[in-house]
Structure 1
């Protein structure tokens, strides 16, 4: 019951123009991360080398995973809309610079900047949604569902869009498409009545910026980047000297975060909340598998099947169609039956898709088989994403839910980085039938581990479908 006596369930939803404006910027992250999955082959061909090409994707995700948790705090100091618009500007600057990149190193730097820009939109959009709902006594549920649905839909459609753009105009087009998208988003957000959201009247900007856990952020980036480089090196000449650096940085990071007043990642909260730890661990594994499909199959379609970027994108279209339907079905299942059943469905579908990839995806397989496998691969993420986000809301308090969602997104982006490592180890950098089959068996094995974990879990709330949002 609110202070005015109005029950939240009876409140009118946030107007569509506001929901759409906020969603318009938050789609840039799934759009860019999915388009690059198809364009990476064309980029390697254009630069004449595949050396370090996977770091284009990794740089974006490392930057995103590091910057996303900071977005909420920056929005609370400078205003959520101002930070949202700054992210759009960063994407535009980086996209323009990327069109003139002459080396792989320059393109890696461009995507690191894009990653920083796109990382701020979902956290600041959520801040603006909640602030608008509180000021005007509106329900935020529909707006949050809009943000999630738009992100899921664009992520699923991204390979098709990226394939069409790359095949028609070249890989540079996946960069310049960001410019009109960002301009339209900026115009919509500036017209929306959300300028009041997140601005702190009690904390100076300088004090808040000084309060950022810069050392924790740098240590986290060091752990992720050196850990990835070590794992990738195992395929050829293992760089064992990186392992003590990674482990040492991880130990220092944990020790510092335990003592920090306002840590980058609250490891003390994680230690106290085992259900949250389990959910984040499950999220890490499911997103690693998801991005193995997301990055691996488009590359395989082009290198082994000889498809153009356009054809590969169209072949991935069933992932988009089924993914959108699975998201809606997962939301309904969570609301009616709870997150456990939703996660069982999503994880079983992940197991089936892994087996199908390992058994049926061959250079000689009929196109119809490829489309069926793509359709099945569209099911897991919709159910798993909804189920895990529901659990984050259920296993954290109202005051901690923002931090929980922030850690959820960081873990999801870390899973994308691990997927790059898995693909490198399984395929040796050049994906063929055998390499893709190893990826499929990795997905199937991971799914079995997840199913066992769900079956034996005793800390999963049984009533989360009543309290968690169906987003």
Structure 2
């Protein structure tokens, strides 16, 4: 099977107007026939891998970390939550900085922070410092994906290829499907060198990204003048809004009644601020007029709620309910990873969005229903078959949403829009984490897995219903021509 880089070399996309939107900055005159600068692919794709691989690799490390520090699951869960919170806030903020100051600076700073966080985690003597390392990982890994989307749009403007389908496919593989490789890689690393290798692996990854970024990413002039000031108040209110919301979603209860109150207050303050300032962090008025983009963010939440509920819930059940070791659980999930990768690469040749999302939601429903058939004595072949079913939506939903955003977002703010797409992804992940906690209160039992499956089935059905009537997605796919 050809990899994403080979696929990109073979794709040529016909020129299409980006909807009449203006980038707000001078751009090189497009020349049809120019090729996408393939030297950018390696830093873009490898950098975009850092966040999803770290978000999922930790899944098989929670049990050994808890054993090492004598910490219960409620405490080790913060290793997951810390990265989610940092990433959900960091992605759109850093995306805005990418839009204003260019991708190279933010990419290099972010990947350097990833290396420092990996070193801290590898040497951390306490669970608390491990949580700090995960926060730093979340912030550091928030730069590469918005930078990659920004570079993709810049190259599209330079070459006249307004829909570089192959590049978007490669980023989707890196951003969505590679996340599924995390448990497999984590299990293998733990088997080789213990749970600390899950953190230490970020050091060589960071060094590689830095070398590629320094040698290949173009230097660009900042769009923002020095006298211009960032909307710090808007960013702060946005951070409070997300943090309080996600903390409550993670563990809802009457004892935390103050969190939704703070969420509402922060939301009102954020709305007032962003609609009154001349240079808002997020232009809410423009977003409100862009209903297709809002629908894409909604589908991102629904799709990733099911994705992460399966990823964490199924992995945890394989270890506790089915009795497999961390390495064995990772190997059982390997076919899921390969299926997701294959589906992304094969369907990436098509620019159609609606079909990807419809088929992805149907397979997500099927995978959720299949979990209802599992028990503590289910054969390994059956466990692998369920993973194969779940691999199809892994390869389709993220790719479909990312392609939709690329066409729906204003090119001038596409990096911050892409960062916000990741924020909604992690809102879905937090909803999935809350569901796992609710259905596995005393461990990952088979009964809890079945209740989680019903929850996932409901979410996948809502996703299907959110895609079915949206004819704009079908027109988007039909409007984009691809030449082989």
Per the normalisation by structure 1, the TM-score is 0.88
Q: Is 1:300–1:432's contact at 8 Å kept on the other side of the alignment?
A: yes
Which residue matches 2:121?
98
Tell me: CA distance 1:253–1:234, structure 2 relative to 1, closer, same or farther (3 Å). same
1:48 maps to which of 70, 75, 80: 70
Which residue matches 1:224?
242
- Higher RCO (C-alpha under 8 Å, 6+ residues apart): 2
Q: Is 1:97–1:110's contact at 8 Å kept on the other side of the alignment?
A: yes
Q: Is 1:62–1:414's contact at 8 Å kept on the other side of the alignment?
A: no
Considering only aligned residues, what root-mean-square deviation do their CA atoms show, in Å? Answer: 2.7
Residues 44-84 of structure 1: CA deviation (Å, up to 9, x unaligned): 22221223322221111111121112223433555422221
Bigger mean CA offset, 430-439 vs 371-380 = 430-439
Which residue matches 2:45?
23
Within the alignment, does 1:164 sit opposite 2:181 as a pair? no
Residues 199-228 of structure 1: CA deviation (Å, up to 9, x unaligned): 227612xx45x31x3333333332333233
Cα separation, 2, equivalents of 1:109 and 1:463? 42
Residue 362 of structure 1 and its aligned partner are, at CA, apart by 1.8
Which residue matches 2:419?
406
Tell me: CA distance 1:375–1:409, structure 2 relative to 1, closer, same or farther (3 Å). same
Residues 388-416 of structure 1: CA deviation (Å, up to 9, x unaligned): 22222343454454443232222112222
Cα separation, 1, equivalents of 2:482 and 2:203? 33
Which residue matches 1:467?
480
Structure 1, unaligned stretches of length 5 or more?
Answer: none
Q: Is 2:244–2:262's contact at 8 Å kept on the other side of the alignment?
A: yes
Cα separation, 2, equivalents of 1:245 and 1:134? 42
Structure 2, unaligned stretches of length 5 or more?
Answer: 1-14, 18-27
Q: Within 5 Å, which residues of 2 pair with 1:210-359? A: 210-211=229-230, 213-234=231-252, 238-332=255-349, 334-335=350-351, 338-357=352-371, 359=372
Cα separation, 1, equivalents of 2:30 and 2:240? 50
Which residue matches 1:439?
452
Cα separation, 1, equivalents of 2:211 and 2:332? 34
Cα separation, 2, equivalents of 1:381 and 1:203? 41
Tell me: CA distance 1:137–1:227, structure 2 relative to 1, closer, same or farther (3 Å). closer
- Paired residues, number: 456
SS at match of 1:365: coil
Residues 354-384 of structure 1: CA deviation (Å, up to 9, x unaligned): 1111x12321111111000011111112111
Which residue matches 1:14?
37
SS at match of 2:95: helix
Per the normalisation by structure 2, the TM-score is 0.86
Cα separation, 1, equivalents of 2:422 and 2:101? 22
Tell me: CA distance 1:184–1:440, structure 2 relative to 1, closer, same or farther (3 Å). same
Q: Is 1:360–1:369's contact at 8 Å kept on the other side of the alignment?
A: no
Within the alignment, does 1:34 sit opposite 2:27 as a pair? no
Cα separation, 2, equivalents of 1:231 and 1:73? 26
SS at match of 2:323: coil
Q: Is 1:223–1:249's contact at 8 Å kept on the other side of the alignment?
A: yes
1:427 maps to which of 411, 416, 440: 440
Residue 424 of structure 1 and its aligned partner are, at CA, apart by 1.2
Which residue matches 2:134?
111
Residue 451 of structure 1 and its aligned partner are, at CA, apart by 1.9
Cα separation, 1, equivalents of 2:447 and 2:283? 41
Cα separation, 2, equivalents of 1:137 and 1:392? 19
Tell me: CA distance 1:228–1:73, structure 2 relative to 1, closer, same or farther (3 Å). closer
SS at match of 1:163: helix
Which residue matches 1:390?
403
Bigger mean CA offset, 219-228 vs 114-123 = 219-228
Cα separation, 2, equivalents of 1:402 and 1:375? 33
